[in-house]
Amino acid sequence: MRIAFFSARPFDRDVFLATHASRGMDRHDLHFFDTRLTEATAALAAGCEGVCVFVNDQVGAGVLTALAAGGTRLIALRSAGFNHVDLEAAVGLGLTVSRVPAYSPYAVAEHTLALILTLNRKTHKAYARVREGNFSLDGLTGFDLHGTTAGVVGTGTIGRCVIRALIGFGCHVVCHDLEPHPDARALGARYVALDELFASSAIVTLHVPLTPDTRHMIDAAAIAQMPRGVMIINTGRGALIDTRAAIDGLKRGHIGYLGLDVYEEEEGLFFDDHSASVIQDDVFARLLTFPNVLVTGHQAFLTRDALQGIASTTFDNIEAFAAGRRSGNELTPA
Ligand code: NAI
């Protein structure tokens, strides 16, 4: 099968080529494009039966129509999240859409802990200070995670890994999910209503998918319920948080720490080097001015193990499609 990979960075290319070679799959013809998939770039996939995309590629009705007209039959997502895909349009065009439902939940969970620990103990500031010969400890005071109440929103694959880590640090963990999971309880977490989670947690961390129900679940009203000085962490999807409400909470000191791996307007910003240009997004630029905000550019998934898992499952999905089988990872409209 001829397959076009969009948003393909060197680390994607390396792991997909290595996985392809290790499986002896010489019948696939892989084409890697650094560019994002948009209506303007869809023509690059002409003649490719498979198109492999990542989280900030545009997979709306217009792009899908162009791909289908060019001979595409399979859209293979290299991600778990699929909020960027118009599944209704895909079905209407006879396209199969597959995803990688789970690769390394540890990668995202561990990055979540990295954000919590960095914001709390300010290691990013300490690193810069020490390299400047500044050994002052002023402003570096943190708090013990041990004994702190942490609220985990979404107790799916990643949320449960986060719970395990937080319990390991000695946190009291409360959690919330539409579908409570027995493993979360077995780990020692307590399910509560979302209002109670917001009111009782010094740390709130988000691990739900982006859906119409979860969009802006952290808004001004939710922030008002949280204790002053709360730490909010988002490694889920950017639009789970109303960024303008978060900025207001930061300005008033109500939010004490904000750790983001995702941002609601990250498309066109993240994954590229903009260091020589002026950031045009004033909301994002304002976020970067706060000393208690830490932003990483959607890298929570980025471990060697996760990349291998993504490549492996993506090829499973492609092989199943090529053989006329179902992989079980196909997506249908809800
Ligand atoms: P999952 O599907 O295993 O768990 C999601 C949980 O959210 C489920 O238990 C579900 O019942 C719950 N949920 C859904 N809607 C809800 C609602 N309205 N209220 C309460 N709970 C709700 O997904 P997984 O693998 O744990 O991933 C979670 C999210 O993390 C993904 O949807 C994705 O957006 C994000 N993610 C981010 C990555 C990154 O690099 N930053 C990488 C991978 C995933």
Whether residue 235 is contained in a domain is answered as yes
At 268, is the pLDDT very low, low, confident or very high (cuts 50, 70, 90)?
Answer: confident
The residue contributing the CA closest to ligand 1 atom 35 is 236
284 and 148 inside one domain: yes
Is residue 237 part of the annotated active site? The answer reads yes
Handedness of CA 39, 45, 50, 55 (dihedral sign): negative
Confidence of residue 27 (pLDDT cuts 50, 70, 90): confident
Task: Give the model's confidence band at 24: pLDDT under 50 very low, under 70 low, under 90 confident, else very high.
Answer: confident
Q: Is the CB of 159 under 6 A from ligand 1?
A: yes
Q: Is 197 part of a structural domain of the chain?
A: yes
CA of 278 to the centre of ligand 1 (A): 33
What pLDDT, on a 0 to 100 scale, did the predictor assign at position 25? 67
Q: How confident is the model at residue 292 (pLDDT cuts 50, 70, 90)?
A: very high
- Is 332 part of any domain? no
Contact 99 CB / ligand 1 (< 6 Å): no
Question: Residues 33, 85: one domain?
Answer: yes
Model confidence at 303: pLDDT above 80? yes
Same domain, 125 and 48: no
pLDDT per residue as tens digits for the range 208-258: 999 999 999 999 999 999 999 999 999 999 999 999 999 999 999 999 999
Question: Which of these is catalytic: 49, 84, 181, 266?
Answer: 266
Looking at residue 109, its pLDDT comes to 98
> How confident is the prediction for the chain on average, in pLDDT?
96
pLDDT for position 334: 79
Which residues partner with 3 through β-bridges? 30, 50
Same domain, 169 and 290: yes
Pocket test for ligand 1, best of 111, 115, 158 (most atoms within 8 A of CB): 158
Q: Are residues 81 and 175 in the same domain?
A: no
- Whether residue 154 is contained in a domain is answered as yes
| Claim to verify: residue 19 and residue 111 sit in the same structural domain | no
What residues make up the domain containing 15? 2-103+304-322
In this structure, the answer to whether residues 89 and 160 fall within a common structural domain is no
Q: Are 213 and 308 in a shared domain?
A: no
> Cα(170)–Cα(31) distance, rounded to whole angstroms?
48
Domains identified in the chain, total number: 2
pLDDT digits (tens, 9 = 90+) for 73-84: 999 999 998 999
How many Å apart are CA 118 and CA 259, to the nearest integer? 9
Least trusted range by pLDDT, from 20-34, 234-248, 254-268: 20-34
Q: Among residues of the chain, what percentage have pLDDT more than 70? A: 99
Kindly state whether residues 109 and 94 are assigned to the same domain. Answer: no
pLDDT at 140: 98
In a domain, 331, yes or no: no
User: Does the beta carbon of 334 lie inside 6 Å of ligand 1?
Assistant: no
CA dist., res. 237 & res. 81, Å (int) = 8
**Do residues 191 and 165 lie in contact, with contact meaning Cβ atoms separated by under 8 Å?**
no
Mean pLDDT of 4-28: 91
Answer whether residue 78 is part of any domain. Answer: yes
In the prediction, which pLDDT does 23 show? Answer: 87
- Say if ligand 1 is within 6 A of residue 157 CB: yes
> What is the spatial distance between Cα 116 and Cα 122, in angstroms, rounded to a whole number?
10
Is 298 in the active site? yes
Rg (CA), the chain: 21
pLDDT tens-digit map of 164-203:
999 999 999 999 999 999 999 999 999 999 999 999 999 9
Nearest C-alpha neighbor of 309 from the set 29, 16, 8: 16
Q: Which of 237, 265, 319, 330 is catalytic?
A: 237
- Beta-bridge mates of residue 150: 173, 203
What CATH number is associated with residue 47?
3.40.50.720
Two tokens at 161? 């890994």
Give the pLDDT confidence score for residue 26 in this predicted structure.
66
The answer, yes or no, to whether any atom of ligand 1 lies below 6 A from the CB of 261, is: yes
Task: Specify whether 88 is catalytic.
Answer: no
Q: Both 79 and 161 in a single domain?
A: no
The answer to whether residue 327 sits within a structural domain is no
C-alpha 81 – ligand 1 centre gap (Å): 8
Same structural domain, 195 and 88: no
Q: Is 297 in the pocket of ligand 1 (CB under 6 A)?
A: no
For residue 177, tell me if it sits in a domain. yes
Domain co-membership, 112 together with 244? yes
- Residue 180: predicted pLDDT: 98
